[in-house]
Structure 1
Amino acid sequence: MGRWEPGARQRLVLAAVDLFTEQGYDATTVAQIAERAGVTKSTFFRHFPDKRELLVAGQESMCRLLSEGIAEAPDGASPMVAVAAALERASTMMGPDNRELGPRIKAAVAASTELQERDALKTVSLAAAMTTALLARGVPEMTAHLAGELGVLAFKQGYARWSETEHHDGRGLAEYALAALDELRTASRSLD
């Protein structure tokens, strides 16, 4: 494979997920990931600082899309309507490849304490992005934090359902994430 062939980043992620699944996270080296992806180690390090970062590829873009979705929600929209707009916006970056990778990434994360820690940091980062965007809209701090956390939980639940659906039903990630958000809203009303 040519050194400058496009798609190296995606190939690196796919190679890493396959290797993490086959032999475990700890036993997988950067050299093995690069070889499987058909690139050099230096190409790996142009895309990722270390192997942990492979499974959170796109986190910055995801945070940006969540923030933009909230910022672009209609004036006067409730915090949850703004979060729904964020989920719809962020869902646009998730295509069929992401759907297929979902269960494999979940298995790799479940098998590694280090990846579980990195996944938790990703969750905090996504919630912080939504909270900050809600605060910029004038949402009170506690409400913004709660809405941001619910948004992340809805996204994660929606993504899990979307990626684990055996028969692709034509529904996009946004529909699953919004359905999860509605379930969480209903569940939160039953807390009293």
Structure 2
Amino acid sequence: MNALVSKLALAVAASGALVVTLAGCAGPPSAGQPVPAPPGSSVPERTSDPTPTSESAAPSLASMSPCDLFTEADERELEVTENEGERQVGTGRACRLVTKAGNTGALIRTNTGLDGVPAGEGLRSITVGSHEAKIWGNTATSACTVFLGVSESSRVDVSAVDRQGNVEESCALAERTAELVEKNLPES
């Protein structure tokens, strides 16, 4: 059993890096308190929601910024206090959002699909919109990740950490975020 948990932990290392990024260093900030971006970094301004004008103009997941997976309406629904923009995390590209409920974000992975997430204790299959997905709540870190399958070779990992350190609430935030992200995924 410990070997399965270890395999799962290794397989989600990049997601774990996103969770560490989401969690911060000194513990969760108080509710509604934004976390400052690192010195010298900037948060890109969004001028419009990502809406393709035709089928041929539809973006591919590889060409999208992970922050494009969140519309302005999504950010309002999640009560985002800060969008920290895109950053490289391992082999993926991540977008971190600070919300009143906790930290959440999306990690685009174009080098592995759902098959890259090994079976392990607590990992279960779910459906998010029209996409197959898996969810895993990490009781050791109180973080939760929804692995959203996009194609055989790509997925979006949506992670969340609740401000109170409650894994069930982290999973609720991750699932709610994944539902919003799923609506903005390109056709595969």
TM-score (norm 2): 0.32
Q: Which structure's CA Rg is the greater one?
A: 1
TM-score (norm 1): 0.32
Larger strand proportion of the pair: 2
Larger helix proportion of the pair: 1
